Amino acid sequence: MSFVTGVGLTSYGKHEGLSSLDLMSKAAELAISDAGLKRADIDGILCGYSTVSPHIMLATVFAEHFGIRPSYAHAVQVGGATGLAMTMLAHHLVDAGVAKHVLVVGGENRLTGQSRDASIQALAQVGHPDYEVTLGPTIPAYYGLVATRYMHEYGLTQEDLAEFAVLMRKHALMHPGAQFHEPITVADVMASKPVAMPLKLLDCCPVSDGGAACVISREPTGERRVRVRGCAQAHTHQHITAAPALSELGAEISIAKAKAASGIAISDVRYAAVYDSFTITLAILLEDLGLAKRGEAAARVRAGYFNQDGELPLNTHGGLLSYGHCGVGGAMAHLVETHLQMTSRADNRQVRDASVALLHGDGGVLSSHVSMFLERVR
């Protein structure tokens, strides 16, 4: 058993003069304070990677920078799934008695600390070094291929994909920390410049500076009680040339295992936090997770199903598409927002009921998946 006892999140966008370690520290301090703890109480540290500041011992580099001496330290790398993978590992560590309070943290100054070309080079390395990287594609190109195939199989249109970007921007307008605060329409998405067709600029998440953190504890540290009910992973491939059929991707595997581990059904879920690096990512994952039928997620968005005041609120902070994406910290913002919703601290974004939440992270090109259920305990 484990509890999410504290969360911390910086604003996303430009943070001139702050390093990855600085941004991680800001988020970590917020999370520890939120848990009602002190730095000395933290006996475990899990941190994600940083493409801006790569280091073979980043967890202990951060621990030294932050001023803690944990009994357990580990760095994790599974792309966009890293944040939830670390949370899952922290859950198992405290459940096993290895640590009492594990700090999970990710952050980067990817917008101001890395050139565009360096970012592209780093992200291109998800491709196979012989069969893919040599041909020049980057992550948007891979997801563009996925989108083309998905549209062919399920009849999705570019306008359908644009709906997801519009929804995320609408939610970001309510969060002061979001990178973008200008409303957009389907027409705006369609008119934005092509990046990797059918994906256009507004179908893609931005590059951001930012940091996010949480504390996973063996027991609650205060009156707020959010428990990790069950979680699971699936890793079907690394390279798109080895990917299974669209109907056999890892999200379906991880959600089935998470449901079995938690005893929670999709019909029990009251809030959803789903990885949204591109509009096609969100479309596919919502359907793989059982939150919409095949080819019908966009229709549910149009009908208001995933609105803040809808039947199943989704990514009420604006997601990666509009709150921002700073690497590992990007998807961890989903976890922070979920905790705020579950503890009735989401201000004007507060939903009616967030007693049971589903979170899902995706790494690579729909390669690595982590599904997690959280529940509010009275």
pLDDT in tens, 71-84: 999 999 999 999 99
- The secondary structure element, H or E, covering residue 360 is strand 356-363
The segments of the chain whose pLDDT lies below 70 read: none
The DSSP code sequence of 139-196 is HHHHHHHHHHHHHHHH---HHHHHHHHHHHHHHHTT-TT-S--S---HHHHHHSPEEE
Q: What is the pLDDT at residue 123?
A: 77
CA quadruple 166, 156, 303, 249: dihedral, nearest 10: -90
Q: What is the pLDDT at residue 274?
A: 98
pLDDT in tens, 207-256: 999 999 999 999 999 999 999 999 999 999 999 999 999 888 999 999 99
Q: What is the pLDDT at residue 61?
A: 97
Of the candidates 35, 81, 6, which has an alpha carbon nearest to the alpha carbon of residue 359? 81
**What CA–CA distance (Å, rounded) separates 74 from 60?**
8
How many other CB atoms are found less than 10 A from the CB of residue 345? 13
**What CA–CA distance (Å, rounded) separates 225 from 355?**
11
**What CA–CA distance (Å, rounded) separates 305 from 297?**
9
Q: Which residue has the tokens 């304070």?
A: 33
Q: What is the pLDDT at residue 118?
A: 82
Encoded tokens for 328 = 């590992």
Cα atoms found within 13 Å of the Cα of residue 86, Cβ hemisphere only: 33
